[in-house]
Amino acid sequence: MIIAVDFDGTIVRDRYPEIGKEIPFATSTLKMLMQEGHQFVLWTVRRGHTLEEAVEWCRERGVEFYAVNQSFPGEDQEESGSYSRKLKVDIFIDDRNVGGLPDWGTIYQIIHERRPYEDILLNGEVGYSSRKRKWWQF
């Protein structure tokens, strides 16, 4: 799969424009998924120098991106008459998801096992499963 991944609030704690501390298991999970053949697009609000810092931060930890802020390497919005800011990817990992960002173990499980998040939630398999179920989860 090609997976779009946000940086601030997803891979690291949100301290933009600084780089926050790594969210536990973020880079190790991404590296495991890379070894399984998945490719990543870094999809972030960062630009210029702050974007370069984020890409280098990830590279130093063994996470490489297929593309950065574009659907594929070399995508050119000037050249393409049908350019869209909407990425052409299979899945997004972002802290702005409805319901927030699952823990990285759950993210791995969703992608590796190709299981819907809802299934994992309803079976109480997420990292915070010790919480009581809400009325809408039954």
pTM of the model: 0.79
Domain count, the chain: 1
List alpha helices for 8-84, DSSP H. 26-35, 48-60
Residue 83 lies inside a defined structural domain of this protein: no
Residue 68 lies inside a defined structural domain of this protein: yes
The CATH code of the domain that includes 7 is 3.40.50.1000
Q: What is the bridge-based pairing of β-strands 91-93 and 67-68?
A: unpaired
Residue 39 belongs to domain spanning:
2-74+89-137
First-to-last CA distance in the chain? 31
* Number of C-beta neighbours around residue 100 at 10 A: 9
Contact indicator for 63, 30 with CB cutoff of 8 Å:
yes
15 vs 81, residue with greater confidence: 15
Task: Burial-class residue 54 by CB neighbours within 10 Å (0-12, 13-18, 19+).
Answer: buried
CA distance 69 to 51: 10
pLDDT value, residue 78: 55
Residue 54 lies inside a defined structural domain of this protein: yes
Residue 84 lies inside a defined structural domain of this protein: no
Summarize pLDDT for 3-41 with one digit per residue, the tens. Answer: 999 999 999 999 999 999 999 999 999 999 999 999 999
pLDDT level of residue 126 (50, 70, 90 thresholds): low
Residue 82 lies inside a defined structural domain of this protein: no
